[in-house]
Each structure stands twice: as C-alpha cells, then as structure tokens.
Amino acid sequence: MDIEGFTRAKINKIDEKSLENILAEHIKDYKNISDEFSFKMAQSVVEEVKNTLKLEKIDDNFLKDIVKSTLSDVKMGEIGVGSRGAGDFFVHRKIAEIVASTNTNSLINPSEQDDGGVVKSKVNGNEVYITTAIDGIHSRLSEYPFLGGFHVTRASLRDVCVMGAKPVAIISDIHLADDGDVAKLFDFTAGVATVSELIDVPIVAGSTLRVGGDMVLGDRLVSAVGSIGVSNIEPTARKMAKPGDVILLTEGSGGGTITTTALYNGYFDVVWETIDISFIKASNALIKDNLVKDVHAMTDVTNGGLRGDAHEIASTTNLGLEMDNTKINSMVNPKVLNMLEKLDIDPLGVSTDSLMLIVPENKADTIKKSIKKSGVRIGEIGYVDDKKGARLIKDNNKVEEINPLFREAAYTKIKKLVGETTPEDFNQMQEKVEKSAKKAIQKKKKVINYIKNKDK
C-alpha cells in the first residue's frame, strides 16, 4: 500500500484527524506495532504531505512548474501502458520524442522504437558499436523472484542480441517494498546469476533499494536488468528490412509472460518449457558464424506478440510483411501452444520470445543451418514486400491485416476482465498525453537554460 499516495488522495476530502486514524489502521494491517506508534507514523505522513502542498502558495512560479508534474488526466491503466498494445506503443512514442529532443548523438535511440539503443565509438582507432538495453521484471512475478530474475535477464540480453551485438556485461536494479523478506533479493539475484553463468556474461554492477522507502507498505518487488553488448559491424535495426526479404522465426517457448500465464492458470509443467537460453544460443551462433552482417533486421517476439512487432516493423520501414498463420503456430513450443489454445489466448498477441529474422532470400538457408546447428528450431513464416502494413494468411487462405490490439492478448483472468478493446475516448486520451509530453519537453528546455545561464 502506498500510504503517501493514499494520503494525497484523501487529504482534501476528509478532516485531518479522521485521515490520521484511517491511515494508522492501514499501517497496522502491515506492521506489528503498537496503536501509539502507528498513529505517530500516520501523523508524520500527513504532516509531510501537508508541507509539500505549501508549494502551491509560494511566489516562485518557475520552481512550481519544475516540481509539479505536468498532469495529463490520463491514467497508466486507462491508456494501457505496459500492456503491449496500441495505447502502450503511443505513450512510448511520446517518451521517444522527449529523448529525441535532446541535443546528443546516438546511432539508434528510442525514437527508432527498436529493441536496444546503440552508440558508435572508437577503440584503438577501430569503430565499435556499443548496444545497451534494459527490461523490467514482469509485475506478476513479484511473488516468484527467481523466475522474475531469470526471465528479465533473458529479456534484456535478447534486446542486445537482436541488434547483432555480443553481450559482455549485465547490470541489476532491485526495489523491494518495506515489508518484503530480504531473501527475495537473493532469489532474484540468483535468477539473474543463473543466466549470467549459463552464457558466461558477468554481472558487473547493481543497485538495491526499497520501493517508495517508508511510504510503501507490503512486499512488492520491482526490478530491472540491463545488458551491454559490443559489435564491430553496424547493428541490425528494424529499418534495414527490404522488399524480397524472407522472414524467419525460431521456436518460442516464452518468458515472463508465458510463465505468468502458466502459474496463474495452473499449467505448472509449462514453466519448465520457459527455462532455457535457446534465444541467446541462436543469436550467438550467427555471431560465431559471421552471419550477422547478412541479416537485415532482427527482433524478439515480445511487445504485444507478433501482432505488435510486425506492425511496428511495417510502420518503421513503410513496407509490407505477409506471414502464414499455420507456419507461425508451428514455431511455438507445443506445450505452450496447447496451453494458449485451451485458455483461448491468441498466440499472435502474447510474447512467445521467438527470434524473428528478416534476411535476403539467398542467405536464408545458410542462416537457418547455422541456428539449427546450435540446437534451436527455426522456420520460414513469410516475406517482406512493398505493399505496406502487416498481413496474415489464415488457415482458410484468407488474408487479414495484422494490427495490435489496445492491449496484448489477455492471459490472466484479471486481464480478461479488463479487456482488450479500444476505449471510446482513446483519441481524447492521446491528445491529452500529447500535450503533457510537449510540456515535459518545454520543462526540460527551461531547466537547461537555467543551468547554463546560472553562473553567467
């Protein structure tokens, strides 16, 4: 429970004494402390929040503008941030615009909507491409920290691999709420370290903090793992796909999303199918055989499933992707596919963690042979053309357009309740978010000007 957030929401709605009493009761739900101490804690929280509200009355409008968030009146869940659908993609494009507004140089940054970011540097006179990526733990794996650590590490490494880089380092950031058992930190780190040892890439740095410090009660774990990779050839960004290219797909057994689906729907045997490093084995095989240079684009099937990835690639390249539904399903791990079908979950709408490669037709066989040699299944699922948009050949030979849903395919009961349909006021939400993103860019510029002129 976020006791500061609760206080801010109620402080102008009920009298102060009642708020302190209610808050003290909530604190005792989590803390084995006396009535007196819980009440003192509640008083402290209310007093601190009241102090911050005094900002509204100061004369320094510039400070007020910087400190206050530029609210959009659109909530994360309403627009589907983190749900890997149309709303999520829209917000991420706004974030990318803020990044792109900075006067800094990079070869690939978030504006590309790619898996990882890339900067070019020189080492001993030779050009080197440094790729970085970061991923957050699946929120529903907070209760299963080892699995959370294992899968978020794989996710981060995949984002480096698909840029054609060889992973060289891993970093970890763990936040555990105030009442969380310290052992969760160790379980999570062990999950990260398992992947690290299996692929011989060291964990080099990290950070450990509490979620919200004293202000968040409970045992929720949130975390992120970052990866760094290097390459001496230009990265395989999505924008490099060309008409006539062949689309290849490795077998996907899933990661955090499939693990969550299995755990919360009772398909526990499927969890074991996700415990592998086949994705990294496949990409390392391409590096070892010097085939990355022949790949026009690589991506991992994660963000909203193949629906989301195909749509993003088509949008970024302004090209067309045509794929065969039967061939796609044949590249999903059989146990995983069986679970998805029984639960009526669209395999195209969830993260299966396959490696998708877009390659010249005359290089496809060589690339397939290299990956098969590493012990990973791979197959051809379609091709690239200049018709624009992503298309799917259904089992009845009908062709339908592939578009991301508002949210990724619902894979838990709570997600099915929330639904996947686009809200009627989605356009209005987009307009509000657009305005707030522009205000954030303006705020950034104001502070930069202030700092540059501060000592003049």
Helix axes 35-53, 16-30, angle to 10 degrees: 130
The pLDDT of residue 305 is: 82
- Does position 235 have pLDDT exceeding 70, yes or no? yes
pLDDT in tens, 190-221: 999 999 999 999 999 999 999 988 889 999 99
Nearest alpha-carbon partner for 183 in 146, 212, 216: 146
**Tell me: the pLDDT tens digits for 415-444?**
666 666 777 788 898 999 999 999 998 998
Q: Provide mean pLDDT across the span 147-168.
A: 92
Which pLDDT tens digit goes with each residue over 301-351? 876 788 878 887 888 888 999 999 999 999 999 999 999 999 998 888 888
Phi, psi of 70 (to 5 degrees): -80, 85
Q: Which residue has the tokens 């994705």?
A: 279
Contact 169, 156 (CB under 8 A): no
The helix or strand, by DSSP H or E, that contains position 176, with its residue range, turns out to be: strand 166-176
Q: Residue 285: its pLDDT value, please?
A: 93
Select the CATH number that applies to the domain covering 237-420 from these four: 3.20.20.70, 3.40.640.10, 3.90.650.10, 3.50.50.60.
Answer: 3.90.650.10
**Does position 22 have pLDDT exceeding 90, yes or no?**
yes
pTM of this prediction?
Answer: 0.87
Cβ 266 vs Cβ 272: under 8 Å = no
Spatial distance between the Cα atoms of 300 and 163, rounded to a whole number of angstroms: 10
SS3 label, residue 402: strand
For residues 349-360, give the mean pLDDT. Answer: 91
Share of the chain above pLDDT 70, in %: 93
- What is the chain's mean pLDDT, rounded? 88
- Strand, helix or coil for residue 205: strand
Angle between helices 86-100 and 426-453 (to 10 degrees): 20
CB 117 within 8 A of CB 106: yes
User: Among residues 400, 454, 437, which one has the least CA distance to residue 74?
Assistant: 437
Letter for the amino acid at 24? Answer: A
User: Which of 77, 79, 116 minimizes the C-alpha distance to 94?
Assistant: 79
Residue 403 confidence (pLDDT): 77
Rounded mean pLDDT, 347-373: 93
Fold (CATH) for 114-235: 60s Ribosomal Protein L30; Chain: A; (3.30.1330)
Between 166-180, 193-207, 438-452, the lowest mean confidence (pLDDT) is in 438-452
pLDDT digit string (tens) for 126-135?
889 999 999 9
Q: How confident is the model at residue 42 (pLDDT cuts 50, 70, 90)?
A: very high
Q: Where are the domains of the chain?
A: 3-57, 114-235, 237-420
Side-chain half-sphere CA neighbours of 148 within 13 A: 26
In the three-class reduction of DSSP (H, G, I as helix; E, B as strand; rest coil), residue 343 is classed as coil
CA proximity to 301, closest of 292, 312, 293, 290: 312
In the numeric block, the tokens 């509000």 are attached to 432
Please check whether residue 339 is in contact with residue 269, taking contact to mean a CB–CB distance below 8 angstroms. Answer: no
Cβ proximity of 391 and 324 under 8 Å:
no
Q: How far apart are CA 319 and CA 364, in angstroms?
A: 19
